[in-house]
Structure 1
Amino acid sequence: MTRIIQSLSEISASYDALFCDLWGCLHNGVAAFPEAVAALRAFRATGGKVVLLTNAPRPQAQVRASLDRMKVPHDAYDLIVTSGDAAQDAMFAGAVGRKVWHLGPSKDDAFFTEVPEDWQGRADIERVAFEEAEGIVCTGPFDEMTEVPEDYRGKFLLAKGRGLKMLCANPDIVVDMGERRIYCAGALAALYEDMGGEAFYFGKPHPPIYDLARRRLGGGEARILAIGDGINTDVAGGEGEGLDVLFVAGGLASGQFGPDGDAPDQTLLDDWLQARQRAPRYTIGRLR
């Protein structure tokens, strides 16, 4: 049975570092959550390290810029590690070929143009038209506000017929932007796999992003708490890495655990988690 807590401070002394999700935990895509910001700042004030671990398909510098626009203070975190960082490394290594078709919005162009230091001078990846591509790099729909995965079924049939492999830069299925739910690259990759295509993933819950986060964090055997609202990404990934997990019930699953988002009902919560075969050590309504 997961333990419901009211604030991060109840358990924070047991951990040296946090792997904290962004969307649904620290912000909603439009504005930061003040109580979550305060909780992270308080943890750092005691000497803890905060790694913002996100499935954003962009390099960390782009994520930092978006956090700045949402007024998230720099003293609320130490590091940002993104699915884009881990997926970039695989792309430049040639995981899906050297000529790739980019499926995603223009806001993700930095995935190709901001070359990591390790690949400077040898990042010979070329974005080409679909007809010339050796593989697909998916960062999301072209228009995330209007499109759904089924819009790409025809294109995916052609891609599958040519044996193109897809690199998925964001395993998330959906996120909530303000009051609107939008599809992510993970939903497109899932459809491609359902159709018989092959997709590679590098964000949560898959190991590469955790390996990268640990390397950047350093510090040997740190006691790490994973925080997130995605049951199939944050919770599954944290458990798969052998980490204690704090599930934020008021994020993507909001409304499933009773009328009060700040006070999940224990019975509803336990039944919901059991049905999904997940057992986070802790649960909180909203990060605070």
Structure 2
Amino acid sequence: MSQINVLITGAAGFTGRHACRYFVAKGYHVAAAVRNAAKYSEPGVEYISCDLTRREQVRELVKRVKPRYVLHLGGKNSVPESWGEPLLYMESNIMGSLYLLQALRESGCSSRILVAGSRLKFALSGPLAPTHPYALSKSVQEVTALSWGKLFHQDVLVAEPGNLIGPGPSTGICALLAKYIVNEEQGEEQKPFHLSSAEERRDFLDVRDAVAAYEVLLRHGETGSVTPVCSGLERTLGEVAQLYASLSTANIAIEAGDAPASGAEEAVQPVRLRELGWEPKYTWEMSLRDILEYYRAERAEWL
């Protein structure tokens, strides 16, 4: 196992950091692609500077690592930011993926690449209904990566993660609410925390379980497959707030808007992952508790 090279792009991100630790613990040689390697240090991880939108840098990266597996987490992933920088999102998520695929093809490495897509994608057929530039970039990224693999006989798979949560720096709703609670615990004066709708439903999965699912797919997934990576359960944002309230003695003020509730009528089930032997280890309650503890510890460091 120690001889297997895995390349992780987007290694400085929320999921990427967990992925690096996970694959090191499993005995892989981990090469982590980040914009500035000098800023990062993690036992067992080889950090390499690379801008995925620079074709020559990507070629050098692949030539240096010669990966057996590639976990492609790199790219841009903020819906609000995508409205202001739509071309950046097209370049980062689509062209960055193509540069990586082409570099792997040119290298002659028999690499398997798992592309982290998004459940926010939309169908690229019939009347187009894009919701935001981020969704457009991820929809095109997915179909392009799979098509490239088919055209050039590359071993490409796609994972579609849901809302990933857990300890670590994140801009997700669970992290934002945890930060708010920790500030309340320290006596800061804040406006009430605003939810667009208490009834909005989302599938939350611990990022550590998602990373374990990515390894299962890299080792046992079917080439050309698209696999949902999720818990199979949906929770409302109101339930998130209620559970957090039970984990803190702070007086938490929540404001809920009247936006229409969203969420699928029936949650997507991770059937294929379970067939491959994957089962989540972290309950929803464990995830939220760990998020709170992470931000409590972070706050304590700078007090």
**TM-score, normalising length: structure 2:** 0.30
Q: Which has the higher contact order (CA 8 A, sep 6+)?
A: 1
Higher helix share: 2
